[in-house]
Structure 1
């Protein structure tokens, strides 16, 4: 049974702060989130292409880079 003394934070609507009822600039948030998503897609594609070229997954590529750098 959950502890009755624990209080969950109230849910907030998207774009609304917990400290104020004034909404955030949601149009700016949409641009930032779209940019983050596209950057993640490019990073994922780079990891897949790197795996096809080297035969190592992303972790193996990082280990190989560190070994190359330290040698």
Structure 2
């Protein structure tokens, strides 16, 4: 993979991409990050509700589901 045509972005020094201006679509990135955050909050709320209902944490719920499915 040393062919330069396979590089998606120009090579840069470590950390340089965090401090230089880049041609990102900031509005699209903000929307994606907002969606990821909301889905994470929904998943956390579902884990808390599942623990409240079953009395088992997320790992215990997965183990109980596996025991039920395999049994």
Number of residue equivalences: 59
Point out where structure 2 has 5 or more consecutive residues left out of the alignment.
1-12
Point out where structure 1 has 5 or more consecutive residues left out of the alignment.
1-7
Q: CA RMSD in A?
A: 2.0
Q: 1:11 to 1:22 in 2, by over 3 A?
A: closer
TM-score by length of 1: 0.73
Q: CA–CA distance in 2 between the matches of 1:63 and 1:48?
A: 16
Q: Point out the structure with the larger helix share.
A: 2
TM-score by length of 2: 0.73
- Cα distance, 1:58 vs structure 2: 0.4
